[in-house]
Amino acid sequence: MTAVKSKDQLELDQISVTLGNTPVVKGVSFRLKEGEIGCLLGPSGCGKTTLLRTIAGFQAPTEGTVHIAGSLMATPEHQTSPEHRRVGMVFQDLALFPHINVRKNVAFGMRRAKKSVVNERVDELLELVGLQDYANSYPHQLSGGQQQRVALVRAMAPRPPVMLLDEPFSSQDTERRVQLAHEVREILKHDGITAMLVTHDQYEAFAIADHIGVVRDGGLCQWDNAFDLYHKPQDRFVADFIGEGVFVCGNTLENNRIQTELGIIEGELSNRFKVGTQIELLVRPDDILHDDTSPTRATVIAKDFRGADHLYTLRMPGSTRLLCLAPSHLNHAVGEEFGVRLKLDHLMIFEQQRS
């Protein structure tokens, strides 16, 4: 293993993977420093799990390099085996040993350490995740969330330089996934472990990660924090994939103005588009305000009750569709009209896609 001068705990440089004749990963690069949590986010089949397998050592890259803790682990010509990468892994199915208790499950990865060291580390981790009273229980006696925490601390026990988590919350419902993601983040941060998660659930990614990479067709569209992915998407795919929103068609006018069915919108276009360019403006639900005094009217075509709010799907007279988040006590029925007003803090504009 060749050492490199780097403070990065995990570094992928121009990783490509071809399976058979099919390119699955295409020129992906990113870095995580010690204690940072990253996430690969994208739809099924986009290549994110192949990237995780390449980091772990189960898949060789066709191009590029993988460094872990400053050491070269993979090139197209050289592969350090998974067992020598000291990478902790938490799988989708958790893979707990059903025939041994929680304490022995957690201790499994420390078989070569002194017994006193093992006992101290296991006690520390079980206390960290609030399972010290379940040390002698078996996996089938635990809830799903408790099993999740056991799988996590078992992987953490040997203090690996990098932890990999492959859709570990997928068996849980949406609300529970986000709650577990928050819990896992706190645990990883407490131990200062660098980690990489793979998921298709953006809210799970938002809850756990410092850096998120949106993956599409094997390529990394954007590597960023959650706020900038939501508010400053670099391409239309990221804008559409992250959060909720619709694209409103329009065309550019002189003096940084845009003509849309919602009216003329002014904003800084930075001369990106010539006058008359057909564009799409991303409009989020929180960009549309319910305003009965507004002359701009829209018809409710669907509504989704969310407790304090309703998410309304609206249709403008010219067929433009909008999403509007409004207080639920207003409670407009499907088919009703109400006034809307646009409140955009900044413009997210993309040239119209031609079919």
Domain regions of the chain by residue span: 244-351
pLDDT of residue 116: 92
pLDDT of residue 198: 95
CATH architecture group of domain 244-351: Beta Barrel (2.40)
pLDDT of residue 271: 63
pLDDT of residue 196: 97
What's the 3-state SS for the chain? Answer: CCECCCCEEEEEEEEEEEECCEEEEEEEEEEEECCCEEEEECCCCCCHHHHHHHHHCCCCCCEEEEEECCEEEECCCCECCHHHCCEEEECCCCCCCCCCCHHHHHHHHHCCCCHHHHHHHHHHHHHHCCCHHHCCCCHHHCCHHHHHHHHHHHHHCCCCCEEEEECCCCCCCHHHHHHHHHHHHHHHHHHCCEEEEEECCHHHHHHHCCEEEEEECCEEEEEECHHHHHHCCCCHHHHHHCCCCEEEEEEEECCCEEEECCEEEECCCCCCCCCCCEEEEEECHHHEEECCCCCCEEEEEEEEECCCEEEEEEECCCCCEEEEEEECCCCCCCCCEEEEEECCCCCCEEECCCC
pLDDT of residue 355: 58
pLDDT of residue 92: 77
pLDDT of residue 1: 45
What is the reported pTM?
0.88
> Mean pLDDT by 10-residue block, N- to C-terminus, for the chain (355 residues)?
63 97 96 97 95 96 96 96 91 86 92 89 92 94 89 90 89 80 90 94 95 97 96 93 92 88 78 85 93 93 94 93 93 94 87 75
pLDDT of residue 148: 86
